[in-house]
Amino acid sequence: MIGPTLGRYFAKRTAFSVASIFMIAFMIVFLFDFLDMVRANIDRPTFGWGTAFLASLFRIPAFSELVLPFATLFGAMAALLALSRKLELVVARAAGISAWQFLFPPILVAATLGLGATLVYNPLAADLKGRSETLQNQLAGNEQRRFDDTAKEVWLRQSGVDGESIVHARQATDRGRHLSGVTIQAFDERGRFHARIEAATAEHEPGRWRLADAWVHMPGRAPEHFDTHFVSTRLAAEQIGQSLTEPDTVSFWALPDFIETARAAGLPAFQFELQYQLLLARPLLLVAMVLIAATVSLRVFRFGNIGRMILGGVAAGFVLYVAQEVARGMGSVGIVPPVLAAWIPAVVASSIGFTVLLHQEDG
C-alpha cells in the first residue's frame, strides 16, 4: 500500500503540472482575446484600456472550462513522464507498489479538480461572463445587450389567446424585449396556418407584441399593411430573456431551476440540460484523462519511443475531443438525450483507459 508521504508527493506533482498547463493556456487565450477586443473597439469614443482588459479577463474563465480536460490530460502525462524519467516510478515498483496504487493520488486529484470546477469554478465563471458582457456593452457605447454579435438569429415558440405562433427575428436587444427584422408564422386555435406577419420591429408588452410597420399575409387575401399591429403572447419578459441566454452564462446551481422554468414556458431546454449533465460528468471525464495519460506515460524512459507515446496521448485527446463535440452537438438539439450525450464520452474514455492500463500492467 502506498504511504501517505509518497501519495502526497505524487498528488502534488500531478496538481502542479495540471495547474501549470492550465494557467499557460489561460494566459494564451486571454492574450489573443484581449488583442482582438482592442482591435474591434479601439476606434470607439467609449473605448478604455482598463474596461477592455477587465471585459476580456472576465470572460476567459468560461472559455477556459473547455481547456480543463486537456490540461488534465497533458498535465498528468507531464507528471508521469517526469516521474518515469527520474526512475521514481521504477523505485516505487521495486518497493512493491503497483501502478494502480501510485495512480490513485493523480486520480484523486483529477476527481477533486472536477468537483471544484463544477461546484465552484463554473458559478464564478458564469458570473464573470455576465459582467464581461456588461463591460463589452460599455465599450460599444450601447447599454442594451445585443444577441446577434455572431449573426445568431432568434427563434421563439409561443402561445397566445389567438393560438400558437413562431417568432423569428434577425436581432434582439434589451434581453429580447425589442426585436428587429421580425417574421411571425401564426396558427389558429386548431393549429392551422393563419397568417404570416412581417414587421420592422416588435416591442414586448404584457400579454402581447406590438409590431411596427407590419405586413399581414393571409391565405387567399391581399397583403395588408399596418403602422401598428398586435400579436398576443403568454411569454413573460423574463422567459424571453431566458430563452436567449447562453448556457455558459448560467451557474451550475441555477441550471435546474432554469431548466424547469424553460419547460414550463414550452421553450426548448436541451442545451441547458446538456450543460448541466456535462458539469455533473466532469469529475469522471478528468479521471478518464488521467487513465489515458497513464496508458502512454508509464513506459520506462530507457525503453525508448517516448516521442511516440506522447504523440499517442495527443492523438487520444484529439479523438476524445472530436467525440465529445459530436455528442455535444447531437445532445444540444435533442437528437440524443442530453444525459447520454454528456456521459457517454466520459464513460467510454474511462473504460478504454482502464482496460488498456489493465492489459499493460496485469497482462
pLDDT tens-digit profile of 26-54?
A: 999 999 999 998 998 888 888 889 999 99
Q: Are residue 287 and residue 351 in the same domain, yes or no?
A: yes
243 inside domain = no
Q: Which residue has the higher pLDDT, 316 or 28?
A: 28
Rounded Cα distance between 347 and 353, Å, is: 10
The number of CA neighbours under 13 Å toward the Cβ of 335 is 9
Q: Are residue 98 and residue 189 in the same domain, yes or no?
A: no
CA angle 97, 99, 105 (to 5 degrees): 90
CA distances, 344 to each of 70, 180, 274, 281, 351 (Å)? 17, 40, 12, 9, 10
**Domains: count for the chain:** 2
Q: Are residue 163 and residue 135 in the same domain, yes or no?
A: no
Tell whether the model's pLDDT for residue 233 goes beyond 70: yes
Q: Are residue 130 and residue 161 in the same domain, yes or no?
A: no
CA angle 48, 51, 52 (to 5 degrees): 85
302 inside domain = yes
Binning pLDDT at 50, 70 and 90, where does residue 158 land? confident
pTM: 0.78
Which of 191, 220, 236 is the last residue before a domain boundary? 236
280 inside domain = yes
214 - beta bridge partners? 199, 226
DSSP codes, 80-92: HHHHHHTTHHHHH
Binning pLDDT at 50, 70 and 90, where does residue 274 land? very high
Cell numbers of 228, please? Answer: 401598428
Q: Are residue 60 and residue 160 in the same domain, yes or no?
A: no
Which of 236, 256, 285 is the last residue before a domain boundary? 236
Range of the domain at 193: 154-236
Q: Which residue has the higher pLDDT, 302 or 211?
A: 211
For the chain, what percent of residues have pLDDT higher than 70?
90
Rounded Cα distance between 277 and 287, Å, is: 16
37 inside domain = yes
203 three-state secondary structure: strand
Q: Are residue 180 and residue 78 in the same domain, yes or no?
A: no
Which of 211, 236, 261 is the last residue before a domain boundary? 236
Binning pLDDT at 50, 70 and 90, where does residue 267 land? low
For the residues 306-324, what does the mean pLDDT come to?
A: 81
Q: Are residue 22 and residue 79 in the same domain, yes or no?
A: yes
Tell whether the model's pLDDT for residue 65 goes beyond 80: yes
Q: What is the DSSP letter of 336?
A: S
Rounded Cα distance between 332 and 340, Å, is: 11
264 inside domain = no
Tell whether the model's pLDDT for residue 150 goes beyond 50: no
pLDDT digits (tens, 9 = 90+) for 118-139: 999 999 999 998 888 778 877 8
Tell whether the model's pLDDT for residue 148 goes beyond 50: no
Q: Are residue 104 and residue 222 in the same domain, yes or no?
A: no
- pLDDT at site 97: 82
Cell numbers of 184, please? Answer: 411571425
Q: Which residue has the higher pLDDT, 191 or 62?
A: 62
Q: Are residue 25 and residue 134 in the same domain, yes or no?
A: yes
The pLDDT mean for the chain works out to 85
Q: Are residue 79 and residue 165 in the same domain, yes or no?
A: no
Q: Are residue 123 and residue 179 in the same domain, yes or no?
A: no
Q: How does 126-153 read in b/e, with b if 16+ C-beta sit within 10 Å?
A: bebbbebbebbbbbbeeeebebeeeeee
Q: Are residue 135 and residue 159 in the same domain, yes or no?
A: no
